[in-house]
């Protein structure tokens, strides 16, 4: 699994004076100048895994390839500055496809004041691959890391979850401005964006902080798409199952000290709703709370890239 | 062709206050701090085009994926700082393959003091794709651009050319230190690295400078591999043809004012030989000089990514 590979990689990488945060978080933090650090992240999308070219307008695929990178910058509370775009295009119709991918990226880049600074455009006998690398800049509040959760912290989530396959996976708005606003006005201890599923990404968040998490399952905000999907499909998955495991919500999960969390919940400073879905606990792992207070292990459902052999 | 796509892209990209040099050169230049600018470049390698996984040790493929990016930084006279690595791995044996790719990258990264700061590791039903993005830093001499050639400049090339398919394409040493040393000690007007072929890359260099180039064909340094290839193959290509068009030499072509070029040629300050192969001229295009002084058009042979439709 990918986690194992990241562990291998971290064991191999020598420390480097310019790298403040290396592999394992949503993005790397590089010492850049006198006081402002740079953040860099890369996300690669492949046909068949992240999109189906037959079924989706290439503009939406291009938009998604950029948006997932902006979401990673958001989860670090970094301001996007520039991206570079590497494409492996199928030979037939590659030029037209490249134009459409960029037509999807350009408006989103403009919305977020992000430059498309360069790229590499290749054709090959395989299917479409898009690798975007985004560079951002931290504010003087520094990075929002996965590793900052404290036992007792409340876990807050933006928006509602599940069913992104119905369209949200392409149309989501990366929570860049929300992250910057909250990081400026409140004391956030840790954060992650939900790319692979709430349960899996929360377990990564608290795992990086050497603690565990209890989710109050009845408080998890479920999207209309998740409800609709549960109703229309016969696979037995409930709306909650979708919210916990679907992934590609690209909402933020934030760990916030209880008093600060109460203030945040009362203020509701964003256009999108913030929901308190649980807390960080001493016992490692992911748990759900029973009405009587007992904790039951919760399986960290979500999407994991399988790496064989 | 790719050039057409870059033209399209440049016409679509709005100016951005942070982007000093956008698409079209070997790397982008970003305003980073008070006085030092950042350079970012991305290069994507695909199975079947850039390597054959059946025939080459994956460590050499990983090394190449990093080295081509370092060569792009060299051509801008930027000091490498950090890279991120995005992989699309075939499902079978993906973990082992990823480890081997990194085993090839790590020693080269260490040699050049470059951090592997992050990455994205995916598996899919397709063949291997590696997208490396490198971030470098300019010195106070600023970037070495393609667009700086002046009519009359001599064109100097490092090393010898052609036949890289015999092994050099994987084992080449990116000319980072050479570029930094020359850029510090001499006045260089423009530069490019030879990735797609001397003739094609020189035509890009002078094209970006709105001038042309005359190559003295009898002075072009031909590698032993190019001679060997010409001897062993029956395709009628001469050693010179290989040196002009093979590509993946990853040597530097530099445009230097004549007096400065004479000083450089006399000093020979590098471990590798510098050769004067021609000059920049008023007439656009690529030319070779006849013994009687007449100019004959020279076809810009080299590797171009074809983008259909």
Report the pLDDT value the prediction gives residue B309, as an integer from 0 to 100. 59
CA distances from B189 to B69, B74, B142, B308 (A): 22, 14, 11, 35
pLDDT number for residue B71 = 98
pLDDT at residue A159 tops 90: yes
pLDDT at residue A302, rounded to an integer: 86
Model confidence, pTM: 0.94
Contact present, B191 and B39 (Cβ < 8 Å): no
Helices (H) and strands (E) in chain B, counts: 9, 13
- The answer to whether the Cβ–Cβ distance between B98 and A5 falls below 8 Å is yes
More confidently predicted of A272 and B22: A272
- Assembly ipTM: 0.94
In chain B, residues with a C-beta closer than 8 Å to the C-beta of A34 are 33-34
Q: Which residue of A has its CA nearest to B69?
A: A120
For strands A190-193 and A252-256, give the pairing. antiparallel
pLDDT confidence of residue B24: 86
What is the per-residue pLDDT across A32-47, written as a single tens digit (0 to 9) for each? 765 578 999 999 999 9
Q: How far apart are the C-alpha atoms of B203 and B197, rounded to whole Å?
A: 10
pLDDT, residue A33, reads: 63
Dist CA B288 CA B207 (whole Å): 16
Cβ of B8 within 8 Å of Cβ of A99? The answer is yes
Of A108, A136, A114, A129, nearest to A40 by C-alpha is A136
The distance of A152 to chain B (nearest Cα, Å) reads 30
Query: Is A3's pLDDT higher than 90?
Result: no
Please report residues of B whose CB lies closer than 8 A to that of A22: 115-118
Q: Are B132 and B226 in contact (CB under 8 A)?
A: no
pLDDT on residue A257: 98
Is A309 a residue whose pLDDT tops 70?
Answer: no
Low-confidence ranges of chain B (pLDDT < 50): 1
| Residues whose CB falls within 8 Å of the CB of residue A234, separated by 6 or more in sequence, listed in order | none
- Say which of A88, A113, A307 has its CB closest to residue B46: A88
Q: Which of A116, A131, A305 sits opposite B123 (nearest CB)?
A: A305
The confidence score (pLDDT) of residue B265 equals 98
What pLDDT does A35 receive? 56
Pairwise CB contact (< 8 Å): A5 & B47: no
* Residue B291 confidence (pLDDT): 78
- Chain pair A-B, CB pairs under 8 angstroms: 250
Q: Is B172 helix (H, G, I), strand (E, B) or coil?
A: coil
8 A C-beta contact, residue B252 and residue B158: yes
CA distance to A117, A218, A302, B219, B241, per residue, from B287 (Å): 32, 75, 60, 14, 15
Least confident piece of the model among A65-69, A82-86, A180-184, B33-37:
B33-37
pLDDT at B1: 47
Mutation target for B interface from A23, A85, A117, A135: give the one with most B CBs within 10 A: A117
CB contact under 8 A, A41 and B118: yes
Secondary element (H or E) of residue B28: strand B28-30
DSSP B165: G
pLDDT-derived band at A24, boundaries 50, 70, 90: confident
């Amino acid at each position: 699994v990918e986690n194992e590979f990241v562990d291998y990689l971290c064991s191999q990488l020598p420390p480097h004076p310019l790298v403040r945060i290396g592999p394992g978080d949503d993005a790397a933090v590089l010492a850049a100048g006198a006081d402002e650090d740079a953040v860099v992240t890369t996300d690669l999308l492949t046909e068949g895994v992240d999109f189906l070219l037959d079924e989706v307008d290439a503009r939406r695929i291009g938009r998604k390839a950029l948006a997932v990178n902006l979401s990673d910058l958001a989860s670090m509370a970094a301001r996007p500055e520039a991206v570079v775009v590497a494409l492996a295009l199928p030979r037939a119709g590659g030029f037209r496809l490249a134009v459409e991918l960029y037509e999807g990226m350009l408006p989103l880049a403009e919305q977020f004041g992000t430059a498309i600074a360069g790229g590499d455009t290749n054709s090959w006998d395989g299917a479409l691959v898009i690798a975007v690398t985004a560079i951002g800049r931290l504010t003087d509040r520094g990075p929002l890391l996965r590793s900052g959760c404290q036992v007792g912290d409340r876990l807050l989530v933006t928006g509602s979850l599940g069913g992104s396959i119905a369209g949200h996976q392409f149309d989501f708005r990366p929570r860049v401005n929300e992250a910057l606003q909250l990081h400026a006005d409140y004391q956030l201890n840790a954060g992650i964006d939900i790319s692979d599923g709430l349960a899996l990404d929360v377990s990564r968040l608290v795992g990086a902080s050497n603690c565990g998490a209890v989710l109050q399952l009845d408080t998890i905000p479920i999207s209309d798409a998740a409800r609709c999907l549960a109703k229309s499909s016969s696979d037995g998955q409930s709306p909650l199952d979708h919210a916990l495991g679907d992934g590609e919500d690209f909402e933020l999960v934030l760990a916030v000290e209880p008093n600060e969390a109460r203030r945040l919940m009362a203020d509701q400073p964003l256009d999108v709703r913030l929901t308190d879905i649980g807390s960080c606990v001493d016992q490692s792992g992911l748990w759900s709370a029973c009405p009587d207070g007992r904790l039951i292990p919760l399986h960290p459902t979500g999407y994991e890239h399988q790496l064989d052999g």
